[in-house]
Amino acid sequence: MFLSFLQVTELECQSTQTPVIKSQKTELNQTIEDELTSEIYLCNSSGIKTHLKTVNNSVSPPQETELRSRVLEEQLAGAEQRLQENQEEQENFRKSLRTLLELLDGKIFELTELRDTLARLIEEAS
């Protein structure tokens, strides 16, 4: 391609351009234009090929997909187990709170009875 460009330049530099030279110049210009068009097309095509290779490489092979699937399933199983354990802990905590509440209710009842008894004793003493 560079040689063709030099040839065009040499032809342009000649002072007397005969019809044959003009014809050769036109042919060389057309050849250069055709070669540049072809190279641009190839560059664009190779760019597309590179893009397709990149996309193809980002798609994981079946074995890698299966491995990732197994890992995700194990993570899901672990998360489900932790959820189950947390729910059991919450239920045990609620049971403990209910027991404490019942105990407090009993103590409040006993204190109320004690207060009433003391109030009666004070009234009787007066």
pLDDT for residue 33 is more than 60: yes
122 pLDDT above the threshold of 80: yes
What's the pLDDT at 63? 79
Which residue shows structure tokens 């003391």?
118
Residue 3 has pLDDT above 60, yes or no: no
54, 47 contact by CB (below 8 A): no
The pLDDT-based confidence of 1 (bands split at 50, 70, 90) is very low
Of 65, 63, 62, nearest to 73 (Cα)?
65
pLDDT, average across residues 81-110: 93
Whether the per-residue pLDDT at 90 is higher than 80: the answer is yes
The better pLDDT of the pair 76, 41 is held by 76
Q: What is d(CA 27, CA 25) in angstroms, rounded to the nearest whole number?
A: 5
Residue-wise pLDDT tens digits, 44-66: 666 666 656 665 666 667 777 88
Tell which wins on pLDDT, 117 or 42: 117
Q: Which residues contact 68 (CB under 8 A, 6 or more apart)?
A: 60
Average pLDDT, the chain: 78
The domains of the chain are located at: 1-59, 81-126
Confidence of residue 97 (pLDDT cuts 50, 70, 90): very high
Of 111, 93, 60, give the one whose Cα is nearest residue 119. 111
